[in-house]
Amino acid sequence: MVSYIRKKHGEAFNAEPDASTLTSSLITPQKELYRRNHDDIIYQPASTSSKPEVETDWKLSFLVDRDVAEHLDWKQWKSDTSFSPRSAQAEDHDAIIASSKSVRISIAELHQSMKEKRVVAAMECAGNRRADMSERGPRKAEGLQWQSATIGNALWAGASVRDFLLQQGIPDAYEHIRDKENLPPTVRSLENDSAPWSRNTYLHFLSSQPCSESQSPTGHVYGSSVPLCTALHPNQDLLLAWGVDGQRLDSTHGYPLRAALPGHVAARWTKWLSMLRISFYEDDSPPMTLDYKLLEPPKGASEEERRQWIDSMMGEGKDEKKREAEVAKAKPLMRLGVGSGVSEPQEDDKIEVNDKGEMAAEGYAVGTEGSPVSLVELLLVRDPGSSNLDAMEDLRRAANEQPASAWTRLELDESNSRKVLPKHKGSSEDDIAIADAKEAKFSWSWTLWRAQVPVPAEARGSGEKYALVMRGTTSAGVRQELQSPWNIRGFRERSWPVVTGLTFQ
């Protein structure tokens, strides 16, 4: 059973599952995925069938701005006089349409013409663990106070974005690469391996859904964009997703089509996807230009300067002009990096130690750049009694000084992930998803971990409080950052999780 914690933000549907339910299965069933909506659900399936096939009049428009079309020498376009995109791109909407080349595809055509690709990928909200950042930081961060469960690991099914673009006649930015299969999906590869013509060009994912939460005066729709070289990269695995976990998308997750962008913050996974557009500019909808940006106090500022900066940026006395300028200056948040969450134990738990003198711990960890977390380390330390940011930083630093041998180490590879998949029984829909998952690519998957951590003998029955520290490292050797900078919106909390207030019986 899912026990959702529903959160109000206007009337939109926002909900977070219970963390321990979440980490009980490697593949998160669709109904147990968190929900985040900036506006009302705009489209519902007409029938109740849960099959991934989609019968709908929904169309996907593919638009290439004229200057880009000329630059790419893009010839494969149809003139479509009935073309009236549901998504308006700000005031210059008419100008863009008049000067662009477009194609309109029904979802049925998309299904028929594209091979279904399946990818297991974690989807994580930028504000996951915001409550942690709020509670321990100098001020409560803005936004819904999510715990650590606005993340899920699903089996996404749909058309490969790369294959779709190539089919539409967009040239391959990696044509000159001989061993495309083995190109690593790293930022470095995007920068070094893509053809120069593909740089400074973007693929936009636009919804038909308005974006009223952002209170943008221009009546924008929800949108996002990624560099075209990301979209064309053979191993970034971007999808136009119509299915999840062997089912079709349900109405809350963007039926009939959404972007699934492994390795990218969930805010870029546009739901109710109705237009792809290639242009020389990043998308200018509010989620890109206003909402999903890091607003951090200046680096190297004194305590007093930080306080003043925060006061000028949030709360009653904020300076609107300054805030606007800071927002304009910041880049859209695209990737989160290595992260993790602990679902067991929870803060202030009274723990029964097993007969080997150990306690159980459990959670998830996500990797970066297509390398999952393959090493999880855990350490019990004395609880300092204060959990503000400075105390937590001191605690993490002290833990970091401990030799590797003091930590409980779990080495987890992909075969471990596959083993965690329950047996395929071939009956229910969940089982179909699991059978498919066995064949899918796992490089963007989270890693579930379960450990037994030795409890110091003197801790038992003493009533003394302890804290559990956890950190993850990817198969490429990238370790989770010790402590993430506090920021106004409470985004990108990647700090080593610390569960405080633990006592042992």
Ligand X SMILES: Nc1nc2c(c(=O)[nH]1)N[C@H]1C(S)=C(S)[C@@H](COP(=O)(O)O)O[C@H]1N2
Residues lying near Mo ion in the complex (CB under 5 A) are found at 36, 125, 266-267
267 binds ligand X (CB under 6 A): yes
Which of residues 4, 156, 174, 272 is near ligand X by CB under 6 A?
272
Smallest gap from Cβ 125 to Mo ion, in A, equals 3
Smallest gap from Cβ 257 to ligand X, in A, equals 11
Nearer to Mo ion, 266 or 468 (CB): 266
Question: Strand pairing of 350-351 and 441-444?
Answer: unpaired
Strands of the 447-454 sheet, one edge to the other: 339-344, 358-366, 447-454
25 DSSP assignment: -
Which of residues 104, 136, 204, 271 is near ligand X by CB under 6 A?
271
34 binds ligand X (CB under 6 A): yes
Nearer to ligand X, 186 or 368 (CB): 368
Which of residues 148, 270, 289, 500 is near ligand X by CB under 6 A?
270
CA distance 203 to 164: 12
Evaluated on CA atoms 81, 84, 85, 87, the torsion sign reads positive
CA distance 158 to 118: 7
CA distance 489 to 492: 9
Stretch of 1-9, 31-39, 57-65, 229-237 contacting ligand X, by CB under 6 A: 31-39
Question: Is 316 exposed, middle or buried, given 0-12, 13-18 or 19+ CB atoms closer than 10 A?
Answer: exposed
264 binds ligand X (CB under 6 A): no
Which of residues 7, 17, 22, 35 is near ligand X by CB under 6 A?
35
SS3 for 258-316 is EEECCCCCHHHCCCCEEEEEEECCCCCCHHHHHHCECCCCCCCCCHHHHHHHHHHHCCC
Residue 38 interacts with, from ligand X, Mo ion, none (CB under 5-8 Å by kind): ligand X
87 binds ligand X (CB under 6 A): no
Nearer to ligand X, 327 or 478 (CB): 327
Smallest gap from Cβ 259 to ligand X, in A, equals 8
Judge whether 284 and 90 are in contact, CB under 8 Å. Answer: yes
CA distance 285 to 231: 19
Stretch of 96-104, 233-241, 270-278, 492-500 contacting ligand X, by CB under 6 A: 270-278
Judge whether 469 and 378 are in contact, CB under 8 Å. Answer: yes
4 DSSP assignment: -
153 binds ligand X (CB under 6 A): no
Which of residues 266, 290, 392, 455 is near ligand X by CB under 6 A?
266
Residue 378 interacts with, from Mo ion, ligand X, none (CB under 5-8 Å by kind): none
Judge whether 58 and 43 are in contact, CB under 8 Å. Answer: yes
Stretch of 90-98, 177-185, 264-272, 461-469 contacting ligand X, by CB under 6 A: 264-272
Nearer to ligand X, 130 or 471 (CB): 130
Nearer to Mo ion, 123 or 359 (CB): 123
Q: Nearest to Mo ion by Cβ — which residue?
A: 125
Q: How many residues does the chain have?
A: 505
Report the amino acid identity of residue 160. S
Smallest gap from Cβ 488 to ligand X, in A, equals 17
Question: Is 72 exposed, middle or buried, given 0-12, 13-18 or 19+ CB atoms closer than 10 A?
Answer: middle
Question: Is 323 exposed, middle or buried, given 0-12, 13-18 or 19+ CB atoms closer than 10 A?
Answer: middle
125 binds ligand X (CB under 6 A): yes
Stretch of 85-93, 266-274, 309-317, 358-366 contacting ligand X, by CB under 6 A: 266-274
Which residue in this structure is represented by tokens 């943008």? 216
Report the amino acid identity of residue 202. Y
Phi, psi of 323 (to 5 degrees): -65, -45
Q: 400-429 mask for ligand X (x: CB under 6 A)?
A: ------------------------------
488 binds ligand X (CB under 6 A): no
Smallest gap from Cβ 128 to ligand X, in A, equals 8
Q: 204-233 mask for ligand X (x: CB under 6 A)?
A: ---x-x------------x-----------
Residue numbers of the site for ligand X (CB under 6 A)? 33-38, 125, 207, 209, 222, 253, 266-267, 269-272
